[in-house]
Chain A
Amino acid sequence: MMNDYDVVIIGGGPAGMAAALSARKTGAEKVLIIERDRELGGILQQCIHNGFGLHRFKEELTGPGYAGRYIKMVQADPSIDVLLDTMVLDVEQDKIIYAVNPKQGMLTIQAKAVIFTMGCRERTRGAIRIAGGRAAGVFTAGAAQRMVNMEGFLPGKKIVILGSGDIGLIMARRLTLEGAKVQAVLELMPYSNGLTRNVVQCLEDFDIPLHLSHTIVKVHGKERVTGVTCAKVDENRAVIPGSEFDIECDCLLLSVGLIPENELSRTIDLAMDSLTSGPIVDQFRQTSLPGFFAAGNVVHVHDLVDFVSQEGEIAGNAAAKYALGQLPKAQRVVDIEATGGVRTVVPQHLSITPESPESVRLFMRVGKPEQRITLVIESAGKMLYTRKLAVAKPGEMIVVELPADKVCECTNKITVSLVK
Chain B
Amino acid sequence: MEQVKRRLSCIVCPMSCQGEVTLENGSVTGITGFTCPRGEKYAREEVVAPKRTLTTTVRISGAQLPLLPVISKTALPKDKVVDCARFLSNIRVQAPVKEGDVVCADILGLGVDIVAARDLL
Residue A355 at the B interface, CB < 8 A?
A: no
Residues of B within 8 Å of A50, CB to CB, are 53, 55, 71
Chain A residues in contact with chain B, CB under 8 A? 38-39, 45, 48-50, 60, 62, 64-65, 67-68, 148-152, 174, 176-179, 195-197, 199-201, 204-205, 390-391, 393, 396
Residues of B within 8 Å of A178, CB to CB, are 56, 85, 89
**With contacts A150-B67, A152-B57, A178-B85 known, what are 19 further pairs, Cβ within 8 A?**
A39-B64, A45-B118, A48-B57, A48-B71, A48-B117, A49-B55, A50-B71, A62-B55, A65-B71, A150-B65, A151-B65, A152-B66, A177-B82, A178-B89, A196-B9, A196-B16, A200-B11, A205-B81, A396-B14
Interface magnitude class on chain B: 20 to 34
Residue pair B59, A152 in contact (C-beta under 8 Å) = yes
Residue pair A68, B99 in contact (C-beta under 8 Å) = yes
Residue pair A38, B118 in contact (C-beta under 8 Å) = no
Residue pair A48, B55 in contact (C-beta under 8 Å) = yes
Residue pair B69, A149 in contact (C-beta under 8 Å) = yes
Q: Given A197-B11, A201-B52: A177 and B69 within 8 A (CB)?
A: no
Residue B103 at the A interface, CB < 8 A?
A: no
Residue B41 at the A interface, CB < 8 A?
A: no
What are 17 contact pairs spanning A and B, CB under 8 A? A45-B118, A48-B117, A50-B53, A50-B55, A65-B71, A68-B99, A149-B69, A151-B67, A177-B85, A178-B56, A178-B85, A179-B86, A196-B10, A201-B52, A205-B52, A391-B15, A393-B14
Residue B38 at the A interface, CB < 8 A?
A: no
Q: Given A177-B85, A393-B14: A65 and B99 within 8 A (CB)?
A: yes
Tally inter-chain residue pairs, CB-CB below 8 A: 79
Please report the C-alpha to C-alpha distance between residue A199 and residue B86 in the assembled complex, in whole angstroms. Answer: 22
Q: Mark B70-87, 1 if CB is under 8 A from A, else 0.
A: 010000001001100110
Residue B106 at the A interface, CB < 8 A?
A: no
Please give the distance in Å from B81's CB to the nearest CB on chain A.
8
Residue B119 at the A interface, CB < 8 A?
A: yes
Chain B residues in contact with chain A, CB under 8 A? 9-11, 14-16, 52-57, 59, 64-67, 69, 71, 78, 81-82, 85-86, 89, 99, 117-119
Please report the C-alpha to C-alpha distance between residue A396 and residue B15 in the assembled complex, in whole angstroms. Answer: 12
Please report the C-alpha to C-alpha distance between residue A50 and residue B52 in the assembled complex, in whole angstroms. Answer: 11
Residue pair B118, A196 in contact (C-beta under 8 Å) = no
Please report the C-alpha to C-alpha distance between residue A205 and residue B64 in the assembled complex, in whole angstroms. Answer: 34
Residue pair A62, B52 in contact (C-beta under 8 Å) = no
Please report the C-alpha to C-alpha distance between residue A176 and residue B82 in the assembled complex, in whole angstroms. Answer: 8
B56 to A, closest residue via Cβ? A177
Please report the C-alpha to C-alpha distance between residue A200 and residue B71 in the assembled complex, in whole angstroms. Answer: 19
Residue pair B52, A38 in contact (C-beta under 8 Å) = no
B85 to A, closest residue via Cβ? A177
Residues of A within 8 Å of B69, CB to CB, are 48, 62, 64, 149
